[in-house]
Structure 1
Amino acid sequence: MKKLMLMLLSVLVLLAVGTAQVQNGQFTGTVTDPSGAAIANAKVSVTNMATNFSVTTTTNQTGLFIAKELPPGTYKITAEAPGFKTLTNGNVPLNAGSIQRVDMKMALGEAKEVVEVSGEAAAVNTEDSKLATTVSSTQLNNLPLNGRNVYDLMQLAPGAVNVTGVDFENGHNTVVNGLREDFNGFLINGVSNKGLSGGVDLVPIQDTVAEFQQLQLNMSAQYGNSAGAINNLVTKSGTNNFHGSVWEYVRNDVFDANEYFLNRQPDPRKDPNGTLCTAGDTSKCFKPALRFNQFGGTFGGPTGKDKLFFFASLQGDRFRTVGTPTTILVESPEFRQAVETAFPNSVAALLYKNFPPTLPGTNPVTLDGYVPGTKSSGSNAVPVVPAGTPNYEGYLCPDNTGSFAPTFATLLGVTAMDQQIMNYDGRPTDPLHGHVPCSLTPPITAGAMGRLLPFQLSSVAIYGSQTGTLGNGNLFNGNEGSFRLDFTPRGSDRIFAQYNYYRQTDQFGPCDTACTRGFTNPQHIQYPGGQASWVHTFSPTVLNEARVGYQQNVNFINTGIPGVPEAGGVQGKFDDGTAGFGSYSGYPQFFKEHIYTYSDMVSISHGNHNFKIG
């Protein structure tokens, strides 16, 4: 029994040997004399130069020192030993999730003599085998990011491919090393930021991110259960100095050229007759609005020197544009007027009257051009009229449209030519494929709609949007903020807690081509969440970190004009490509998920070995 327990413990320990921290980092190295011999029991102090937080450890018999669970930043490392000059190595950077090796070679002399070096550390990571890419806060501030979305940095790493418009899973439009998009993992301060269906929940404000790290291969189990790349963000904390930033970024359509197809669509406000735009005057063509303002600020500092620090941020995004323009067909004003005249109390008249398309359209097609023409030979031929004669039989004959035939007769009218076509019997000459006469031919009548008047027009579906798509996919309309506290009550304890809030509103919501008639589906999204961590040092060789987190995803889609049923098929279009009516029949729609993260890990150093159990 004892052997079995020992084996299980050995497996558990070995699984965690040599792992680094998630949102923190670690210094390790050896302290030697001028000949390269190890110096045992040397005192090594590691001090954060921004907060003055300090950790002290001693070297073992082989001269090795380890300082674990340190927040990312710039550090000063000091080594002291009797009979040697004090050695100080300043401005040494430490990244999240990394093990930074800093070896110290001490010179003979008195301890009061100090030898200072700056930024000396191993250039190549030899402490663990994971493949990772790290982007510092300086790089974050200088790299151009569309909408200031830090997750775009995923695509800078080797093996990452942008799959926007190709793969529609959740994973920030990025495939890494060929794995599926929704296999990507997302962490903020070591806490999960991944939705239950994959993808990112909260997108933090760029100026609050201290470091972005993407791990592609050989990650340890502490990074979670995502099989793809792990994208780990570490947020900024306050320091002993007050500091902050303010910003505003602007995008506006007045700075942009118009889209090619929209330079063929007249703007009813500038070109009421629709002749100037089509003649080449693009200033009279429809140009959709694109208004984006992103503004905010950060502020951080101490509330008690070396003990308590805060960092706060707030950002507002104001965005308004149009959805991706889609070529569609719309009914002509003449047809709408005919429907309203012939059937004033009908649902069709109500819809056409109250929900005309945004753009009037061009390139008219008449009713005669819309219906199919007759054939003089072959299957279902009608040789008694010239080939190509407009054939309204499919609408006017009750055999085809049942009880709706009188309605079509009132709208379209019935002519002697229509009767001739419907009465023709082609079965005597072609029993299998000959034309079958109408069982009840309607009488001749005048229709409300002239058959040579425009019936259908080519247009572009234009509707408002406050959520970006494709090239503007990172833009949104809403507010977000965060507040972080870091507390170091004593040298053996370090605590931090952060709260994030993100609210996105879109008064138009997810739309299809029916929205070009003014239908909307207002959408409200919220991502409240937070993280907390407590690091306690029991001894120079034993350290424990407890970490908890919570992330919520609330998504509500309503209908702007309730009571109008969905009329139209795929993408809000009728079978002939004409824009439909109403909102998706599945709205209103409500979605809410809760994501909990909790973990506890113990780090143990023994000799030249470092173990982590959790």
Structure 2
Amino acid sequence: MLIRISGKRFPEAFLAVLLFLCCRLHGQSGTQGTVSVTVADATGGVVPAASLELTALDTNITRKAATEGTGAFSFVNLPIGTYRLNVSSPGFSTTRVDTVIVHASQVTPVAVVLQIGSTNDTVNVSAVATPLLDVSSNSLGAVIDLKAIEVLPIVGRDLTSLARLTAGYAGSQDTNGSQIGVWNGQPLTNQGVNIDGVVGAASRGKYNGNVQAAASPRVENIAEMSVQSDQIDLDQGFGRSTMQLSYVTRSGTNAFHGRVYVDTRNSGLFANTYANNAAGVRRAK
């Protein structure tokens, strides 16, 4: 089928691709993070119009901006990863923060204090201290990073189980032995899940909750998962959830890299049963 637009004929498939790309780009919110920068001088006074340069270490993609009249600026919609921040202003030495870590659906605050000097001089800050109290967001939740995903034991390779490590979860088993639970007392129908910003709900009607993704992501493909269990941000939940679980898949970098893995499950590798061990009976061959 062909559709005529402005005197030209476009295949319907082409329009479908455009719609998909628009939805895909819109859906990236929720799997990206924010860096909130505040710049001050040694006396504590704000520094407006300070030049900011934020560079992703894995891809060298750079974003530039300037602080506003309050001496602050927020870089939004950032892919997860590690960044480097350069801050400069006339009359001050350039300050470079080597390690700024961005997590999905999280705000990373960076407070920079400029020292009087030449912009040709550089002051290096190896890392930014994480504040004990996050005042940049009122959402409740946690980030489960790659190390936890790779190291923690996961029964049945179900990443959803790691979401139960966050505060506010209370669960039990149903009559079939399946794990069911809620966060902060919210009903099951208020749970949501997305993968790379795309809704991945297992049930369209949301009758039994949506934390379990319809297509379960492989452990090897996930770089990070974040959980917002209450007071979620405006870019979370798609207007249908008060608890949101977001998966972020691995992305490419400047260097060629890859992984090789195999799943092996053989009864010969199983441990002996508890009853046999208690009775001193060796495991059957």
Considering the TM-score relative to the shorter chain, is it more than 0.5? yes
Structure 2 counterpart SS, 1:153: helix
Which amino acid letter does the alignment assign opposite residue 254 of structure 2? Answer: N
Distance in 2 between the 1:86 and 1:77 partners?
10
Displacement after TM superposition at 1:107 (Å): 0.7
Change (3 A) 1:96 1:82: same
Q: Deviations over 1:241-260 (max 9, x none)?
A: 11222223433323243697
Q: State the partner residue of 1:242.
A: 256
Query: Would you say the 8 A contact 1:93–1:119 is kept in 2?
Result: no
Structure 2 counterpart SS, 1:35: coil
Q: State the partner residue of 2:182.
A: 175
Q: Deviations over 1:472-526 (max 9, x none)?
A: xxxxxxxxxxxxxxxxxxxxxxxxxxxxxxxxxxxxxxxxxxxxxxxxxxxxxxx
1:212 to 225, 248, 252: 225
Distance in 2 between the 1:111 and 1:148 partners?
52
**Counterpart check, 1:128 vs 2:137:** yes
Distance in 2 between the 1:281 and 1:230 partners?
46
Q: State the partner residue of 2:193.
A: 186
Q: State the partner residue of 1:157.
A: 166
Query: Would you say the 8 A contact 1:100–1:121 is kept in 2?
Result: no
Distance in 2 between the 1:221 and 1:69 partners?
13
Number of residue pairs aligned between Structure 1 and Structure 2: 244
Structure 1 counterpart SS, 2:162: helix
Structure 1 counterpart SS, 2:260: strand
Identity among equivalent pairs (%): 26
Displacement after TM superposition at 1:61 (Å): 1.7
TM-score, normalised via structure 2 length: 0.77
Structure 1 counterpart SS, 2:164: helix
RMSD: 2.6
Query: Would you say the 8 A contact 1:45–1:78 is kept in 2?
Result: yes
Distance in 2 between the 1:48 and 1:281 partners?
55
Distance in 2 between the 1:228 and 1:65 partners?
28
Displacement after TM superposition at 1:23 (Å): 1.3
Which amino acid letter does the alignment assign opposite residue 109 of structure 1? Answer: G
Displacement after TM superposition at 1:40 (Å): 1.5
Q: State the partner residue of 2:121.
A: 113
Displacement after TM superposition at 1:29 (Å): 2.2
Distance in 1 between the 2:136 and 2:258 partners?
35
Distance in 2 between the 1:37 and 1:100 partners?
21
Moved over 6 A (4+): none
Which amino acid letter does the alignment assign opposite residue 186 of structure 2? Answer: L
Give the gaps of 5 or more residues in structure 2: 1-28, 276-280
Distance in 2 between the 1:132 and 1:94 partners?
15
Distance in 2 between the 1:281 and 1:87 partners?
65
Distance in 2 between the 1:249 and 1:174 partners?
29
2:74 to 34, 56, 66: 66
Q: Deviations over 1:286-315 (max 9, x none)?
A: x9xxxxxxxxxxxxxxxxxxxxxxxxxxxx
Query: Would you say the 8 A contact 1:96–1:213 is kept in 2?
Result: yes
- Aligned pairs for 1:3-402 within 5 A: 21-123=29-131, 124-166=133-175, 173-194=180-201, 195-198=203-206, 199=210, 200-223=213-236, 224-254=238-268, 255-257=270-272
Distance in 2 between the 1:167 and 1:58 partners?
57
Displacement after TM superposition at 1:186 (Å): 0.6
Query: Would you say the 8 A contact 1:92–1:121 is kept in 2?
Result: no
Query: Would you say the 8 A contact 1:85–1:113 is kept in 2?
Result: yes
Distance in 2 between the 1:176 and 1:61 partners?
40
Query: Would you say the 8 A contact 1:154–1:174 is kept in 2?
Result: no
Q: Deviations over 1:254-287 (max 9, x none)?
A: 3243697xxxxxxxxxxxxxxxxxxx9996xxx9
Distance in 1 between the 2:253 and 2:195 partners?
20
Q: Deviations over 1:185-227 (max 9, x none)?
A: 1111222111214332011111221211111110134322444
Greater Rg by CA: 1
Query: Would you say the 8 A contact 1:27–1:68 is kept in 2?
Result: yes
Change (3 A) 1:37 1:139: same
Displacement after TM superposition at 1:176 (Å): 2.0
Give the gaps of 5 or more residues in structure 1: 1-20, 261-279, 288-614
Query: Would you say the 8 A contact 1:135–1:213 is kept in 2?
Result: yes
Distance in 1 between the 2:164 and 2:157 partners?
14
Distance in 2 between the 1:129 and 1:282 partners?
53
Query: Would you say the 8 A contact 1:148–1:206 is kept in 2?
Result: yes
Structure 2 counterpart SS, 1:196: coil
Distance in 1 between the 2:115 and 2:151 partners?
41
Structure 2 counterpart SS, 1:140: helix
Query: Would you say the 8 A contact 1:84–1:109 is kept in 2?
Result: yes
Displacement after TM superposition at 1:168 (Å): 8.0
Distance in 2 between the 1:40 and 1:209 partners?
39
Displacement after TM superposition at 1:54 (Å): 0.8
Q: State the partner residue of 2:8.
A: none
Structure 2 counterpart SS, 1:245: coil
TM-score, normalised via structure 1 length: 0.37
Query: Would you say the 8 A contact 1:30–1:63 is kept in 2?
Result: yes
Structure 1 counterpart SS, 2:253: coil
Change (3 A) 1:253 1:180: farther
Distance in 2 between the 1:66 and 1:221 partners?
16
